[in-house]
Chain A
Amino acid sequence: MVGTKNKTLKVTLNYIFTIVFLLIMIFPFIYLVLNSFASWDQVDKHLIPTSYSLRSWQWLFSNSVTVAPAPWVQAFLHTFIVSTITVFLMMLFAVMVAYALAKIEFRGKKLVDNFILFQMFFPGIILLIPQFLLITKVGWIDTFQGMILPTAVSLWAIFMYTNFFKAIPDTLIESAKLDGATDMQILFKIVVPMSKSITTVIFLFLYTERWTTLLWDMIVSKSDSTVTLNVLISQMFGPYGTYPGPMYAASVLLTLPLILLFLLFSKNFQEGMQYTLK
């Protein structure tokens, strides 16, 4: 009897420890949200503000007496457009290339396979300046293509999908072939639907990565007509430095969609993660 009691106590303590540690780990998010709703004389004054108002949020979107609003909503839309299209292309290209690498024999396949591995370990920093010059030369500076296309292939996604597709039995594909299906049909009707959980994982990682990209977007975007929210917040660091409340509100705007998206897919994510980590 003493043993079970001890055990329950131990389990309870474990939960308490974990919850306390979790609260510490996600405190920055709590701090962010609370401060975006804090009255202005409370921002950055206490760990938990003591009085609240909507002023920061109103200020962010309204044409205040002293300040013209920055294009927060537009920037949010740009972030959405750029991230969605880029990640869509990344996934589309990744399944195609991975299907070829996993299920089709062709001359040069080994070379492509090895080159992808080489690129994955290649320090991409070398490419930054010439890629910028390339974009400048073709007139894609300050355009969405300039932000999207140079980031539209993810080697990591190809790598992950290739490993996953290899585990799909060839007989499945052969029998579909006998039924007269083309490879495109097999890929999108059979193979892709089978990879739901890993697709969720890849999608979430890619989307997070793209949504919070700073360096490349900062280099390509030069005006309000293309600026993304992450870049805008970064560039308003100085000018809006004396308005931390609204800056926190804008940051909530940037962070919240990712959290919601993640929680929405969290079940698939867990399944997928278990698979990818095996």
Chain B
Amino acid sequence: MKFKRLALLAAVCATTLFGLAACGSKSSEQSGDKTTITFWAAPNPPQVKYWKKMATEFEKKNPKITVKVSQMKESPTSEATIQSAIASGTAPTMSENITRSFAAQLAKSKAIVPLNNDESTKNLMNDVVSGRNMTKTIKSWKFSDGNQFVVPLYSNPMLVGWRLDTLKKIGIDSVPKTYSDVQKVADALKAKDPSKVVYANPTVVDPTAYQRWFDFFPFYDAASNGASFINGTKFVGDKDAGVTVFKFMQDLYQDKELITKKTTDPFESGLSVMNIIGPWTFPNWAEKYPNLKFDDTYTITSVPVPDEMADADNVKTYADAKGVVLYAKATNAQKKAAMKFLKFVMSDVNNDVSLLKLTSLLPARDDASTNSAFKNYFESNPEMKVYAANVPNAIPAMDNADYNTLQEKLGNDGWIPAVTGKKTPEKAWADMVKAIKGAL
């Protein structure tokens, strides 16, 4: 009897096993005239929310297309996840969160669709660009072969936040603008509130390539007034600016005013008074730190600059600009459906208002600061106005397909040893230039 029961159990297990598998493979293909497309949203919870909402609204109007939205995994980075998915043939139909650099890399291995050239996407691509008013914006996304692989979605200047409440307590009334101003904050903190520090950011010593976008480039772009770092396949970095930034960070670090240990929400909890902040942080604050109020407890301003640039207007910074791509393994029907979905999302300005509201990301459109549809939003969210005003000052990522290796060298040979005082700023810069030139 027992054996019979066991055999039965085995049979049940086996059928569930293969039954589940069958379900799995069926749903990802097209059945009948219904098309299913998969969309990977950025590993940022509010963005997942936004795309799920868009998908539901789109499906209501297009019952023949199913859009499956899921969050892009990080194992250990979203770039690595996408590449290994492509390698194993499990890439989605489309995904967001693609920088210009990463797109260059994907395009090189023919893993994404040239949207302006592909038969099934060509016409719809034109509709998307004109429908969202991006004729100018899209120019900076054109690749050297003249193709367009990315539909730009948003572009965020990286700015600096200051804790006004702490500054006030230690007797500093004006928001720091130059390196000397920051030094003054450091001195005042030491004298009056030594438990707090100027800046706490563990990713500063993380060698992962993309981290440099958020810790090095904002300062470099500001100090060099927007000079390129790598132009095509040539290193053109501004040495003076680079060394100055290295030295500024090294001083802060050696002064124990820059902490690189793992910290939990250092700026939000008041441990540090300064931080590099992207606008996507705000939805999280609204939920977790409702006590943070713009112009009251904190403010947003441009990145600090060397003293001799004290009078500079329009301080430059790094632009966190991302877009949507279609992956090459998609069928023609899927490509068409994907572009239809994008057209639906992008041709209605109200969807961009939703994007702002849900994610605080600035839509990449030519009329982002002038379109009246956004007026109400910016009025009730003054911190976002600062970001919108800084869009023209923002410099996008390098357009080199090997950006990963290059930025790893930047981190390992230059930035990290310079910040942590293992090398002099000059030596770190020289070593880094050598390493990068070797890789180019």
List residues of chain A with CB under 8 Å of any chain B CB: 40, 44, 64-68, 70, 81, 84-85, 88-89, 92, 132, 136, 139, 141-145, 148, 184-185, 188-189, 193, 218-219, 222-227, 231, 234-235, 237-240, 242-244
Task: Please give, as numbers and ranges, the residues of chain B lying within 8 Å of A222 by CB-CB distance.
Answer: 73, 85, 88, 90
Residue of B3, B18, B21 near A185 (CB, 8 A) is B3
Nearest-CB residue, chain B, relative to A40: B288
Interface 9-residue window, one of B147-155, B234-242, B279-287, B309-317: B279-287
For the complex of A and B, 8 pairs with smallest distance between CB atoms: A67-B45, A239-B43, A68-B49, A222-B90, A188-B3, A235-B73, A66-B283, A68-B48
Please name all residues of chain B whose beta carbon is closer than 8 Å to the beta carbon of A244 when the two chains form the complex.
264
Q: Most chain-B CB neighbours within 10 Å: which of A136, A223, A226, A243? A: A223
Q: When each residue 57-73 of chain B gets 1 if its CB lies under 8 Å from chain A and 0 otherwise, what string results?
A: 00000000000001101
Q: Is the CB of A81 within 8 A of B20?
A: yes
B340: min CB distance to chain A, Å: 22
- Check: B440 CB closer than 8 A to any chain A CB: no
Judge whether B25 and A143 touch: CB under 8 Å. Answer: yes
| Contact (Cβ within 8 A) A66 B21 | no
Give the docked Cα–Cα distance between A89 and B18 (Å).
14
Cβ contact within 8 Å between B75 and A234: yes
| Nearest chain B CB to A87 CB, angstrom units | 11
Specify the chain A residue showing the minimal Cβ separation from B85. A222
Please tell me which one of the listed residues A84, A143, A227 contacts residue B24 in the complex, with CB atoms under 8 A apart. A143
Partner pick for A237 among B16, B46, B74, B286, CB 8 A cutoff: B74
Contact B265 A184 (CB under 8 A): no
Residues of B within 8 A of A144 (CB): 17, 20-21, 24
Given A44-B264, A66-B46, A239-B45, do A85 and B13 touch, yes or no (CB 8 Å)? Answer: yes
Chain A proximity of B277: nearest CB distance (Å): 13
Q: Which of B85, B265, B358 contacts A242 (CB 8 A)?
A: B265
Given contact pairs A141-B88, A188-B2, enumerate 11 new A-B contacts (beta carbons under 8 Å): A64-B287, A66-B283, A85-B13, A136-B88, A139-B89, A141-B89, A145-B17, A188-B3, A225-B24, A239-B43, A242-B284
In the complex formed, the residue of B with least CB distance to A67 is B45
A222 to B287, CA, bound (A): 30
Task: Name the distance in Å between B82's Cβ and chain A's nearest Cβ.
Answer: 10
Residues of A close to B288: CB separation below 8 A: 40, 242-243
- Across the interface, B13 reaches (CB within 8 A) one of A65, A88, A189, A218, namely A88
* Minimum distance in angstroms from B40 CB to a CB of chain A: 9
Q: Are B71 and A239 in contact (CB under 8 A)?
A: yes
Give the nearest-CB partner of B282 in chain A.
Answer: A66
B18 to nearest A CB, angstroms? 7
Q: Given contacts A144-B17, A225-B24, is CB(A218)–CB(B2) below 8 Å?
A: no
Query: Of the candidates A70, A84, A92, A219, which one forms a contact with B10 in the assembled complex, judged by CB atoms under 8 Å apart?
Result: A92
> Which chain B residue shows the least CB distance to A234?
B75
B191 at the interface (CB under 8 A from A): no
A136 to B75, CA, bound (A): 18
Partner of A66, one of B49, B70, B71, B90: B49
Rounded to whole Å, the gap between the CB of B222 and the closest CB of chain A is: 26
> Are A68 and B264 within 8 A (Cβ)?
no
Query: Cβ of B52 < 8 Å from any Cβ of A?
Result: yes
CA distance A235 to B74 in the complex (A): 5
CA distance in complex: A225, B3 (Å): 33
Known A-B contacts A68-B48, A223-B70, A238-B74; A142 and B287 likewise in contact (beta carbons under 8 Å):
no
* B332 within 8 A of partner (CB): no
* Minimal beta-carbon separation of B334 from chain A (angstroms): 16
A66 touches B18 (CB 8 A): no
A70 engages B75 (CB within 8 Å): no
Binary per-residue interface labels of chain B (240-275) against chain A in the complex, 1 for a CB within 8 Å, 0 otherwise: 000000000000000000000000110000000000
Closest to A143 in B: B21
- Knowing A141-B90, A226-B24, say if A66 contacts B284 (CB, 8 Å): yes
Tell me which residues across on chain B come within 8 A of A234, comparing CB atoms: 75
A residues within 8 A CB of B89? 136, 139, 141
A-B contact pairs, 15 of them (CB 8 A): A40-B288, A44-B264, A66-B45, A68-B48, A70-B45, A81-B16, A89-B13, A92-B10, A139-B25, A222-B88, A223-B70, A225-B27, A226-B24, A238-B43, A239-B71
Which residues does chain B contribute within 8 Å of A237, judged by CB atoms?
74
Determine if A66 and B24 form an interchain contact, defined as CB atoms under 8 angstroms apart. no
How far does the alpha carbon of A165 sit from the alpha carbon of B359 in the complex, in Å? 62
Q: Which chain B residues lie closer than 8 Å to A235 at the CB level?
A: 73-75
Contacts of A64 in B (CB 8 A): 287
Contact partners of B283 in chain A: CB under 8 A: 66
For the complex, what is the distance from the CA of A220 to the CA of B73, rounded to whole Å? 13
CB distance from A241 to the nearest CB of B (A): 9
